Structure 1
Amino acid sequence: MLGPDGIKDIAKMDPREGAALLEAHIENFDGEAAMTMWLQTKPKILYKGGARSRFAAAFHPRENKFEVEVLFSKAPTDFHPTCNQIFYFGEELELALKYAWWAENRVPAEAACVLQVALPASKMSEGVYVDDAKRWERLVWHSRRVDSHGQPLEAAPDTVVSLLNERILVGPICGMSPHVVQGLPRGGWQRLTKIRLSNNQNATQVVFMNPRTFVERCEEILWVLSSVSWRGNSSQDLLVMHGLRVQPLNVGQIAAS
């Protein structure tokens, strides 16, 4: 696995350890509620790695609020050509650490971190798996290739249209940069590559296509933001939060979208 071994992977925590982590960081902690979440819901753990400045800006510990749009991914993305209100997370810590490593080693370099999100697995029941190679290729091909105005170069086939209307998509991650995909010849979707892990399996992304699907779950989600470094600095928990409220203005903006 890439990166430091000291990061606390909440996927491997005992429920009581998770509750203790919450209790150590949050005022007015409801221990019984947290224990219920950890013991009964068997949370699904998702990861996101990158620049610490970006992720930390989403959280306001004093107000216990979450600035939702900070974590949106900017179009075009793997699973949508035009929407700028989509959450992308990964299922594997290894991939998140890779993105964090890139943040710390690019020019200009930035302090890196990994965001771990634990939400009740029952809330993931709406996820649609894009595990068919042809469907995945056509979806990424349509989503990644846009013109100078940010519009798709080609009309979406029916199979892609149906996926764009789903609430949660789960599938592999494109291993090619946007400009490389853009430069492929017409009909070149079969040349698309996927990001692989050290075990040679495809890395997996969980994509909340409708931000309300995610926002409505914020009060049930446990967040752990950890600082990581490959330059001799030890990893540390920057913040641990649970039961976040989304700022009312942002909720209104999402509702209108």
Structure 2
Amino acid sequence: MAEDMNSYENALIQRLVLRLPKIDPTDDNLKVDRPAAMSSSVTRSPDASASLGTLGVLPLELLQHISEFLDFRSISRLKRTCLRARDVVETVLAYSRTVMYAAKALAALGKIGMMRYHSVGAIYATLVSRECASCGASGVYLSLPTCERFCYDCVCKNHAIRVAALEICGFTSAAADEIFSAYEIYRDNWDSNGFQPNLLDFAIQFIEGGVYHQGNAIAYGDDWDSALEGLGMRPEKRQALLKAEHTDLRMRDTAEMWAKYIFETVYEWLSDPDDGLTRASAAKIQTVALPATPPQDHVMVYKGGPLHYLKRIWRSRDSNRVDFSKLFSRLPTDFSPVDNKMVYFAESKLWAHRYAKLADDICYPVPAATLHVAVPSSMINQAIRIADEDFKQLAFKCLQGRNRLGIRRQNLRPYLEASLLLGPVCGNSTAQVEEFTDPDQITVVKMGGEEPLQYAFVGDEMALELNNKCNGKVWIEELNSQGMAMYREA
């Protein structure tokens, strides 16, 4: 939006700010200065009224007033509880007029997971106001995180919007304010011809500083909650990561790495409103039922993770083709002894789904999904198979600095951040494995007795062959989509 913002920050603000429609706040149809009367045509029987329970004894005016303090998700749920509740909600002008005039704003709030943070009355008050909340000039932009109007200049400079963005990415209010304040001081003094950092750099530095001053969590017995709190993580993010069902995945790395993963994943999603897809490409995506069985002479493989990461498969200049190179891992986040360009898949859908569930829990509001690819059987035989003992050797060599590609102590981090090998594979943390003297000391987690079998396709030629032979054989199943998936014809 503004020339002094780098592209990352510009994209971030575009996701969090919406231009409001022109509305005349003096229009009598928009005023909410007195309760609307209940229409006699929708008056219900005593039984229907009684279904509101103890609320049913309250007068309509008071019920309307109370409803304005609900968020849109809650008032919509209230509306569905009974006929009497529906009648009450439909008479709340703050609700009906906002739905009528600002549907795009409500959709945008829902997409970034902010719907529950603003009441019906607060959104409506912003809708019918005129002034910029910062300078008092005419404001035509809505800040989705703060539910305030801003003019163009204040959108470009506003501190609160950036801080709210960092909160969405997982930081507490105090940590977000500290990160952005440091960034703002640096930004105001940078050389216009030199390096221009972005919020991501300062957030990562904040996490690393937290490890230095507050400590890290590595082993099972460590205080993970305190460690994550020291890194500035919000309580809901900490609670999501510390769920018992995610323990074996969590132990693959440290509190520092998970804090970085959460922030980077949400930040990337916020900074990419259109998931990187061209209009032509997105228009060709349809929703279909997942195939019951793979095509003849094909094998299904899977990759679980954030939806926007998996949709890279369709980010091709040629909108009719897939591009597996968009899912490449690269040095230093690679274990390959052959090449630094690899695409990894899991054999088990259960493993991929479990990784997607973890991403969904800890990276809310980022949607998660499972990528399904039907790969010709002949190509499966060409892939590198990584399972059990193979994984132990790879992890041990990388962590002990014996990989001839010179991989540093990033070791198991690629399993996390680039979604390379999916599913709970290693039962030890990075720091623990670094101290081992024998690969047999590494614990490989199995799910229902299954080996953590992965397929790795190496190099540009293999990616091109995947493009040619798997085009039109790719499905992306969002979490809890009940057998339906996004699909694009070849």
Alignment of 1:72-87 (within 5 A): 72-75=328-331, 79-80=335-336, 84-87=340-343
Q: Which runs of 5+ in 1 are unaligned?
A: 16-37, 155-169, 243-257
Shift of 1:44: 1.1
Alignment of 1:89-100 (within 5 A): 89-100=345-356
Q: Separation in 1 of the partners of 2:347 and 2:355?
A: 13
Alignment of 1:95-174 (within 5 A): 95-107=351-363, 109-127=365-383, 129=385, 133=389, 136-146=391-401, 151-152=406-407, 174=425
Sequence identity, in percent? 18
Q: Separation in 1 of the partners of 2:445 and 2:398?
A: 17
Q: Separation in 2 of the partners of 1:68 and 1:129?
A: 18
Is 1:189 the equivalent of 2:444? no
The two structures have a TM-score, normalised by structure 2, of 0.33
Instruction: Describe the shift of the 1:124–1:228 C-alpha distance in structure 2 as closer, same or farther (beyond 3 A).
Output: same
- SS of the aligned residue for 1:184 comes to helix
Q: Separation in 2 of the partners of 1:106 and 1:226?
A: 19
Q: Separation in 2 of the partners of 1:122 and 1:79?
A: 24
Shift of 1:237: 1.4
Q: Which runs of 5+ in 2 are unaligned?
A: 1-244, 246-287, 410-420
- SS of the aligned residue for 2:305 comes to strand
**Conserved 8 A contact 2:329-2:342:** yes
Quick one: higher RCO (CA 8 Å, sep 6+), 1 or 2? 1
The two structures have a TM-score, normalised by structure 1, of 0.59
- SS of the aligned residue for 1:123 comes to helix
Instruction: Describe the shift of the 1:126–1:179 C-alpha distance in structure 2 as closer, same or farther (beyond 3 A).
Output: same
- SS of the aligned residue for 1:57 comes to helix
Out of 53, 59, 72, the position equivalent to 2:308 is 53
- SS of the aligned residue for 1:65 comes to coil
Shift of 1:203: 2.2
Instruction: Describe the shift of the 1:241–1:146 C-alpha distance in structure 2 as closer, same or farther (beyond 3 A).
Output: farther
Q: Separation in 1 of the partners of 2:483 and 2:290?
A: 12
- SS of the aligned residue for 1:216 comes to helix
Instruction: Describe the shift of the 1:241–1:144 C-alpha distance in structure 2 as closer, same or farther (beyond 3 A).
Output: farther
Instruction: Describe the shift of the 1:130–1:102 C-alpha distance in structure 2 as closer, same or farther (beyond 3 A).
Output: closer
| Aligned residue in 1 for 2:477 | 226
Q: Separation in 2 of the partners of 1:85 and 1:178?
A: 25
Q: Separation in 1 of the partners of 2:363 and 2:387?
A: 35
Shift of 1:217: 3.1
Q: Separation in 2 of the partners of 1:132 and 1:51?
A: 26
Shift of 1:104: 0.4
Instruction: Describe the shift of the 1:68–1:54 C-alpha distance in structure 2 as closer, same or farther (beyond 3 A).
Output: same
**Conserved 8 A contact 1:50-1:99:** yes
Structure (1 or 2) with the greater strand fraction: 1
Structure (1 or 2) with the greater helix fraction: 2
